Chains A and B, each alone.
Chain A
Amino acid sequence: MIKQLTPVIRRRLVAARIAAMTEGADAAFKMLAETRASTCPLLDRVALGLLESEIYALDLRPAEARAAFENYVDPHLSEIDRGIAAVVADNKALILMSTFDQSASDEFYHLVDARRILGIELCDHSAILEAALGAAKGKHYEALPVYWQQLRAAYDLQNWRAYRSAEEDFAQECARLGWLDEAAYHAMVATSNDAMDEVTKNLIAARSVGQITKGLDKILHASSLKGHAVLVARMVGTIADAIPDDRLGAVTEFLMRHLDHVPTGWHDTQLLEQMWHAIESLAPRLDRSSTSLPAARGLKHPVLQKATPSRRHVIGALNALTAALPPDDLRTMADTALRLINEDRNDIDYRESLNLLCHIAHCAPDDLKSRIRDEVFPPGVQISDTLLMQAGPHLGWKPQNPGGFAIGARETAKAIRKQVQRLGPGEEPAKIGGYGTFASTSPQGTVVVHVQGAMHWVEPLAQHRALIDAPSIEELIEAMLEMIGERENLIANRASLTSCIGKFADRISLELEHRVEGVLRKLAEGTILEPTSGQTHADAKNPLNPFKIGGGDPADLRGAALVCLAELDHTRPNIRSALHDGILLGAITSADPQIRRYGLAAAHECRTLTSMEASAVALAGLDADPGVARFALQALSNSQSEIPFEPMAWHIIIRSVEGAILSSHVGYRCGAANLLGRITDFPMELKPRIEAARFALQHDVCYSVREVMRNAMEAVER
């Protein structure tokens, strides 16, 4: 289509599009109106109307996009080339789809057929396949031109879907070539979350301040349209940790422009969510003066007054901003948070709202903390809300009836024993709370499994375990062990129960601990039988299985058992537990990286390790999987003060740290920073390497790594 327009109109279309991207939609509309005022050929006028409609659509205003299309494009479709008409009419189907219009899919498929009949393809599929194959083989000299040609062809067609798809392909090719600033721009224009995620992943991995700066500069300048801003916010939210200090101002300014956005429908909720998610991610980077402004905007945000699913993103951001807020702002924040759990309560974000309130209380002066406590727990009012019970200790609440928790523990034990029920004919499943049930019927009867049944009670009981008498604790733990050992129970249930046992570690008697060990030992060794009914984990992960219904990963159960045993070990370091009879070592040296991670997490919990275990942990710092190596460094940073490492182990440790410094995995580098910040008693010959590594981590591209390093060193100095 573009090639058939008069050249001056082609140039005006480019100029108007750029004006929309850099200055906003209104600047573009002004230009289009001026151009439309002068007479021009029919196809030119259609193209002008099409761009106006597209700008509205990109600015997340589908109703106006539709109106523009119907005013300027629709009336002329029957007068222009049939092929062009069938291609551009598809844009309206896209608008209709964005608003879930009933006619959208009929219109869309009608146009698919129309284009097929006319022999028109929106892209050259065979060329794209060739390019993809070329790119996969590293022949980017073949792939890049094809993706570029597709992009130009799609622009020529003026079909938005084809254009965005071509932009997405081009963005990914740029990302593969390491042209990350260009990749970011094209991912934004493609309005593709996938492409943008790929770009941000590469940007973080590249650890290049220059690349991130160039990328930000390129897209911040051209993201005035809301549809593009969503993508930029998404990127900011992901790379917040790596944004250079000198670009924080520009990024914050960009986010502030959109913070007041109130969604009008499904099509623009992403803008609110991504903007506030970005603020949440950026919050740790903001100083006190920069925090107040977005916090004030959040507190006044209209979505907080309504029970909308998306307001949890604002609440999450407010929570992240809380730590740096001055006391006066905290009081305003507390008022809002109290409203959110009372008159404006919404179940979807109740947990986040309570979390915010706890955070405010944590940061607040005593008088404010007391006020919060009194409002949340009015004197004389019985509390039955399990989430409030969990929040209680953070707000300084003391239960009025401590004995009630012992009763609760025994009732919970009874309920937990019903996680798996074998029902007779006509028998109904018990109501124990949870996320629903799985039922399987065989000639022997019906087995009903409650997903996370009764688990909502366990957390508050764990929080207030000190108030529960020993027999009640024992009854509760026995019930949990029974269901952990129940083969027909979901693996996910058994893993949750196992994790919860660890939370009672300091209330478990030695005798009970033996029984716990007896059940968990086999699980920690990896001897796990899955339920006889339903899909196995392998079935649920099978890529050829179209109906995946997973009941949990046995590796998670094994991991939970390992960590639980480590937590028990932590409470009684002087008694050698079964964990050190090769179970922990077996996990740390497992072929499965997931098990190695759990093993290292367990090692992190242990106060002491055997020399074999310590060496295995040190070696795990060199694990090929950075996610595993990270856990190893964390375990080392926890235990190094108590474990006398051999000189050889020190060499391994410093090599691990050097490996982490070169890794794109931020968590791995954080682990290295934490370890390096804490170690003091190292062989002197390693000092130059350790100093060099410290310097590298102090100047890491990611703020979190620098902060971990700083905090760890400060802790040592203290």
Chain B
Amino acid sequence: MQTPRYARLAEDTLRGRLAGLRNAVQPILAGNYLPSFTDHSVEHSDRVCDLIDQLTEPLVHDHQLSDREAFVLYAAAYLHDAGLQHQRAGETTIVQSVLQSPEYVGRAWADLDVETKRTIVRAHHHHISGEMIERSVNAAHPVLGIQLTDDWHPGQIRSIAVAHNLYMDSHNRQEYADLTTDWGEFRMSLLGALLRLADILDESRRRSQLHLERTRELDLEARMHWWRHYYVAHVKIDPGTHQITLWFEFPPDRRVQYQAMIPPLQIPYLEEEFARHGAVLARHNLLWHFKTDEVPAAQSTSRPMDDELEMYVLERLARRHAQRADQDKILVLDHLRAERPTIERKLSELRVADNPGSATEQLIAFRNLSQHLFLLGGRRGAWTMLWGEYNRLSKSVDSDTKFVVASDLAKMMLDDSASDRACRLLHELADEAESLQPPLKFRFLCLLGQAYLETCAYPQATDALSKAATHAVDAQTREKILAELDEAHLLQGEVQIVVGPSGDGGHR
């Protein structure tokens, strides 16, 4: 691969340093200490540099990266994965602290088997990279093979390199924030985001040389990563439209199946990562949209996964979706809980004896609050609350308000499978409803018919719905009510009553 352009770096001195750094780390990155990983060689770093160039292209002049920012970022691109290849990581402070944890207590690095060592290195490689950078600053025998001097801004390079693998969850959110806090001319938050985004975007088949997979002992998890990279034929970044297109290439005979499998494996990772940096990117007009496309089947030469791997991928996806569904439920519950104090406060305000509002205003306010709670998922709480207030206030309000609120209340009851309550509520108002004006009367009759229907009061239901049909405002609405009626007759077994829609040869 050709040396990257380093498009954001104009100063020759810095370009020269970068070339020296690249030469120095190339043999380290070629170490292949973790054979289960896809390509983490210097070519990966080169591609990350290219991706940084593309991602930063939309930055307008004043906001474009300065030479020093660009240098720090490119340097971090070459150093962020250096820790992955540190085969004597046991000598680093970070690994020694890991060995103090209860899991490894009493065991020396040399006593650990290779797999355990690799696991530790994989988990802490960003910190190991950071330590390698630190140990190369002004060092006579730099571990990186090149001495970093103060004018390299090694602290910033190290911060960006370490930050690239922090999950930004509750565990290390603060660490990430500390490492990427802007200062002086260094927009560390932007630099941190750019390295992570470029790193994650280099997930195409260029990184997954499948012939190597055949010669290595890889577990299914590792193989899955190799293959998901393999199916990404190309990542196209269009700065003009702020669009990132992932071109997938699937085996023609499994296209449909893989369309449902592979993009869901890739896209959510990308979207989540871009979302994490949404605020920073927005600040710099660097918001991106994702699009997927597919290499035409006629041109595809890609191979299918074996059955075992295919099954593993599907299981992984299923697990992930199940977790997400659970999280969504919890989110809804969290929203409801978060809103409860506010609702309770408003209820208390409305219920105080010296409430200045009229009974009508109060009842409407309770209705509004109840509907709000209902929409948040607090269905049962919503209508029971409103029912109590309705019983208390309905005698003091005007007829229209009473019917409006009663109808809204009945609707909530019906939607919450409490048709018996709705029926009781509406039945008591049925006589009074005769004098209502058409729109209100129509709605009332529809709800009354529905409540009767739900409670198996067939004659009353057909009577109410028939009346509602005569008050329908348009033919479509009328037809809908008649459809309900026809279905009720059918389900009751009163088949001789059904006449069918008019003028279409319906059953007579």
Tell me the bound Cα distance from A222 to B492 in angstroms: 13
- B451 to chain A minimum Cβ distance, whole angstroms, is 10
Which residues in B have their C-beta under 8 angstroms from that of A2? Answer: 487
> What are 11 of the A-B contact pairs (CB < 8 Å)?
A8-B501, A11-B479, A14-B489, A18-B495, A21-B495, A31-B505, A155-B487, A189-B493, A218-B493, A221-B495, A221-B496
B-contact bits for A15-45, CB 8 A (1 contact / 0 none): 1111101100000000100110000000000
Contact: A15 with B507, CB < 8 Å? yes
Interface contact A11-B495, CB-CB below 8 Å:
no
In the complex the two chains form, is B482's CB within 8 Å of A7's CB?
yes
The 6 closest A-B pairs by CB, nearest first: A15-B500, A10-B483, A15-B507, A7-B479, A148-B456, A185-B493
Check A149 for interface membership: any CB of B closer than 8 A. yes
Q: How large is the interface on B (under 10, 10 to 19, 20 to 34, 35 or more residues)?
A: 20 to 34
Interfacial chain B residues near A34, Cβ < 8 Å: 504-505
Residues of A within 8 A of B489 (CB): 14
User: Known contacts A8-B501, A11-B486, A15-B486; is A149 also within 8 Å of B493 by CB?
Assistant: no
Q: Is B50 an interface residue (CB 8 A)?
A: no
Interface of chain A residues 113 through 155 with chain B (CB within 8 A): 127, 144-145, 148-149, 151-152, 155
**Given known A15-B506, A31-B506, A149-B454, contact A7–B483 (CB-CB < 8 A):** yes
Report Cα–Cα, A152/B504, bound state, in Å.
Answer: 25
- Interchain nearest-CB distance for B483 vs A (Å): 4
CA A189 – CA B492 in complex, angstroms?
A: 11
Q: Are A14 and B493 closer than 8 Å at their CB atoms?
A: no
Select one of A10, A151, A218 contacting B486, CB under 8 A: A10
Q: CA A182 – CA B493 in complex, angstroms?
A: 7
Q: How far is the CA of A7 from the CA of B501 in the complex (A)?
A: 9
- Contact B453–A152 (Cβ < 8 Å): yes
- A35 cross-chain contacts in B, Cβ below 8 A: 504
CB neighbours (8 Å) of B480 from chain A are 7, 10
**Interface status of A12 (Cβ within 8 A of chain B):** yes
Q: How far, in Å, is A32 (CB) from chain B's closest CB?
A: 11
CB distance from B457 to the nearest CB of A (A): 9
A12-B506, A31-B505, A152-B453 are contacts. A145–B487 as well, Cβ < 8 Å?
no
Do the beta carbons of B493 and A15 come within 8 Å of each other?
Answer: no
- Is B491 among interface residues, defined by CB-CB distance under 8 A? yes
B241 located at the interface, meaning its Cβ lies under 8 Å from any Cβ of chain A in the complex: no
* A18 & B507 in contact (Cβ 8 Å cutoff): yes
Tell me if B215 is interfacial: C-beta within 8 Å of chain A. Answer: no
* Chain A neighbourhood of B505, CB < 8 A: 31, 34
Check if B501 sits within 8 Å of A12, measured CB to CB: yes
| Residues on the B chain within 8 Å of A155, using CB | 487, 490-491
Q: A163 — nearest CB in chain B belongs to which residue?
A: B491
A152 engages B500 (CB within 8 Å): no
Q: Using Cβ atoms and an 8 Å threshold, which residues of chain B touch A14?
A: 483, 486-487, 489-490, 498, 500, 507
B-facing residues in A155-214 (Cβ within 8 Å): 155, 182, 185-186, 189
Known: A17-B490, A34-B504, A145-B454. A8 touches B479 (CB 8 A): yes
Chain A residues bordering chain B, tally (CB within 8 A): 32
A195 to chain B, nearest CB (A): 14
Instruction: Say whether B493 contacts A18, CB under 8 Å.
Output: no
List of A residues within 8 angstroms of B493 by Cβ? 182, 185-186, 189, 218, 222
Closest B residue, CB atoms, query A28? B507
Assuming A18-B490, A145-B419, A145-B455, is B476 touching A12 (CB within 8 A)? no
> Contacts A14-B490, A18-B507 hold; do A144 and B456 have CB atoms under 8 A apart?
yes
Cβ–Cβ contact A11 & B501, under 8 A: yes
Query: What is the CA–CA distance of A489 and B42 in the complex, to the nearest angstrom?
Result: 89
Per-position binary interface string of chain B over residues 281-307, scored 1 when its CB falls under 8 Å from any chain A CB and 0 otherwise: 000000000000000000000000000
A11 contacts B420, CB within 8 Å?
A: no
Contacts A11-B500, A34-B504, A127-B417 aside, 7 further interface pairs with beta carbons under 8 A come to A7-B476, A10-B480, A18-B490, A149-B417, A152-B453, A152-B487, A218-B493
B499: nearest residue on chain A (CB-CB)?
A15
Could you tell me the distance in whole angstroms from the C-beta of B12 to the nearest C-beta in chain A? 59
Q: Using Cβ atoms and an 8 Å threshold, which residues of chain B touch A151?
A: 491
Partner of B419, one of A31, A149, A182: A149
Q: How far is the CB of A165 from chain B (nearest CB, A)?
A: 14
Residues of B450-500 at the interface with A, using a CB-CB cut-off of 8 Å, are 453-456, 476, 479-480, 482-483, 486-487, 489-493, 495-496, 498-500
B504 & A12 in contact (Cβ 8 Å cutoff): yes
CB pair A145 B500 closer than 8 Å: no
Of the listed residues B455, B490, B495, B496, the one surrounded by the most CB atoms of chain A closer than 10 A to its CB is B495
CB–CB B495/A152 < 8 A = no
Tell whether, in the assembled complex, residue B490 and residue A152 are in contact, meaning their CB atoms are under 8 Å apart. Answer: no
Q: Shortest distance in angstroms between B168's beta carbon and chain A's nearest beta carbon? A: 30
Residues from 398 to 417 in A contacting B, C-beta threshold 8 Å: none
Residue-wise, chain A 214-231 has the 8 Å CB interface mask toward B (1 for contact) of 000010011000000000
Q: A151 to B490, alpha carbons, bound, how many Å?
A: 11
- Contact at A15–B491, with CB atoms within 8 Å? no
CB within 8 Å for A15 and B498 given contacts A152-B453, A218-B493: yes
B491 touches A152 (CB 8 A): yes
Q: Report the minimal beta-carbon distance from A214 to chain B, rounded to whole angstroms.
A: 11
**Residue with the greatest number of chain A CB neighbours at <10 A, chosen from B495, B499, B500, B507:** B507
**Could you say which residues of chain A place their CB within 8 Å of the CB of B507?**
14-16, 18-19, 22, 31
Chain A residue nearest to B483 in the complex (CB):
A10
How far is B500's CA from A11's CA once the two chains are assembled, in angstroms?
A: 6
The smallest C-beta distance from B493 to any residue of chain A, in angstroms, reads: 4
Tell me how far the C-beta of A33 lies from the nearest C-beta in chain B, rounded to whole angstroms.
10
- Within 218-250 of A, Cβ neighbours of B (below 8 Å) are at 218, 221-222
Smallest Cβ distance from A231 to chain B, in angstroms?
13
B497 to chain A: closest residue by CB: A18
Chain B residues, CB < 8 A from A11: 479, 482-483, 486, 500-501, 506
Complex CA distance for A19 and B506, rounded to whole angstroms: 9
A22: chain B residues at CB < 8 Å are 495, 507
Contacts of B417 in A (CB 8 A): 127, 149
A589 to chain B, nearest CB (A): 49
Residues of A within 8 A of B476 (CB): 7
Query: Which residues on A sit within 8 Å (CB–CB) of B501?
Result: 8, 11-12, 15
Q: Complex formed: what's the CA distance from A15 to B487 in Å?
A: 9
Q: Please, which residues of chain A bring their CB within 8 A of the CB of B486? A: 10-11, 14-15
A232 to B231, CA, bound (A): 61
Q: Which residues of B contact A218 (CB under 8 A)?
A: 493
**Cα–Cα distance between A182 and B490 once the two chains are bound (Å):** 12
Residue of B nearest to A154 (CB): B491
Q: How far is the CA of A143 from the CA of B482 in the complex (A)?
A: 27
Give bound CA distance, A88 to B11, whole Å: 67
Q: Taking the nearest CB of chain B, how far is it from the CB of A613, in angstroms?
A: 53
Enumerate chain B residues within 8 angstroms of A186, measured Cβ to Cβ. 493
- How far is the CB of B466 from the nearest CB of chain A, in Å? 14
Q: Shortest CB–CB separation between residue A576 and chain B, in angstroms?
A: 64
Counting chain B CB atoms within 10 Å of each CB, the highest count among A8, A189, A221 belongs to A8
Complex Cα gap A617–B436 (Å): 73
Kindly list chain A residues whose C-beta atoms are within 8 Å of the C-beta of B504.
8, 12, 34-35
Name the CB-closest residue of A to B455. Answer: A145
In the assembled complex, which residues on chain A have CB atoms less than 8 Å from the CB atom of B499? 15
A145 to B457, CA, bound (A): 8
* Interface bits B264-278 vs A (CB < 8 Å: 1, else 0): 000000000000000
- Bound Cα distance A35, B507 (Å): 13
- Measured between alpha carbons, how far is A155 from B484 in the docked complex, in Å? 12
Which chain A residue has the least Cβ–Cβ distance from B478? A7
Shortest Cβ distance from B506 into A: residue: A15
Residues of B near A145 (CB, < 8 A) are 419-420, 454-456
How long is the Cα–Cα vector from A16 to B454 in the complex, in angstroms?
24
Residues on B with C-beta less than 8 A from A127 are: 417
- Which of chain A's residues has its CB closest to B490's CB? A14
Closest to A22 in B: B495
Q: Which residue of B is nearest A127, CB measured?
A: B417
Q: Which of A347-400 contact B (CB under 8 A)?
A: none
Could you tell me the distance in whole angstroms from the C-beta of A213 to the nearest C-beta in chain B? 16
- Alpha-carbon gap, A182 to B417, bound state (A): 25
